[in-house]
Amino acid sequence: MKLMEELSLTPGISGFEEEIANIIKRELKDYADIIEEDNMGNVIATKKGDDDAPSIMLASHMDEIGLMVRYIDKEGFIKFSTIGGINDQMLMNQAVTIHSDKGNFIGVIGSKPPHITKASEKNKVIKAEDMFIDIGASSKEEACDMVSIGDPITFKSWFAEYPNDLFMGKALDNRVGCYVMIEVLKRINTRATVYGVGTVQEEVGLKGAKTSSYRLNPDMAIALDVTLSGDHPGIKPDEAPVKMGKGPTIVLVDASGRGIITPKKVRDLLINTGDEKGIDYQLEVSDGGTTDGTAIHLTKEGIPTGVLSVPTRYIHTPVSVANMKDVENTIKLIVEAINSL
């Protein structure tokens, strides 16, 4: 759990994944034959196999959603842009950290207080463009001595363990996937060549997956991510039937087929492995978002690709909740599947 906590709390919005990359390199230096970074910043850890054996790519995106300094007004308040899929309603009054070359600075997202909000405004969601960040500066000059345009901003959170194998933290989308990828490379015993890839900028267009998969061109790929867990109030069972504690999710279709439709040989590999080894799993057909798998499976002549996700509550917010048993079962399922190749 210590590594999961470190991955969660370490900052790394899209385009600023260096610290996460360093953790992956540190953890895999004694397990991979080659570790390198490409021009985009993707980390590729290669565990070489036999020449006549297949190759498989495990893709886990390193980036998290966040914000970026866009403008500093004359009073020293900061206007920001959102990076990744963020609902405006969850931004209000959040504590944030601005990561500057001059240090890390704490701020709070503010707007007009309810005491002076007009009746016509009270039931409206305040837009991000109408919010600001207060870092305690008294002027633009003072603020500019602290932060700069383009500085990345992360949500300030903490990591904690819950009962029933649950844990909460920032950026579980997709530091959970990074943890899974690291542990798989540590545990596999296979003739196949395995590429463990920490991809960049997934939240803003699956960018790192496109370039790294083009370079590697593996025989097969599995994107490791999280998925919406529908086991809490406000969600109908048919909207999100996946639940925490029931094992990883084997994605059959996402984005109603606009993303990935998992090919039969990859689907069968994962399902048969789960059945044969007695590892819990769930199946998912999703109308929602996509993963790195969408970019990978369309690379070059096409790469047979699957997606294995850990059910997680409250994704794309400042704090999420997942189940460590699901994480362990995800690792076991991939390890057994790869070892069988």
* 3-state secondary structure at position 319: coil
SS (H, E, C) the chain: CHHHHHHHHCCCECCCCHHHHHHHHHHHCCCCCEEEECCCCCEEEEECCCCCCCEEEEEEECCECEEEEEEECCCCCEEEEEECCCCHHHCCCCEEEEEECCEEEEEEEECCCHHHCCHHHHCCCCCHHHCEEECCCCCHHHHHCCCCCCCEEEECCCCEECCCCEEEECCHHHHHHHHHHHHHHHHCCCCCEEEEEEECCCCCCCHHHHHHHHHHCCCEEEEEEEEECCCCCCCCCCCCCCCCCCCCEEEEECHHHCCCECCHHHHHHHHHHHHHHCCCCEEEECCCCCCHHHHHCCCCCCCCEEEEEEEEECCCCCCEEEEHHHHHHHHHHHHHHHHCC
The tokens describing 174, both together, are: 């997709």
CA–CA gap between residue 243 and residue 57 (Å, rounded): 27
CA–CA gap between residue 48 and residue 170 (Å, rounded): 33
75 catalytic, yes or no?
Answer: no
Among residues 202, 203, 284, 336, the one annotated as catalytic is 202
Where in the sequence numbering do the catalytic residues fall?
Answer: 202
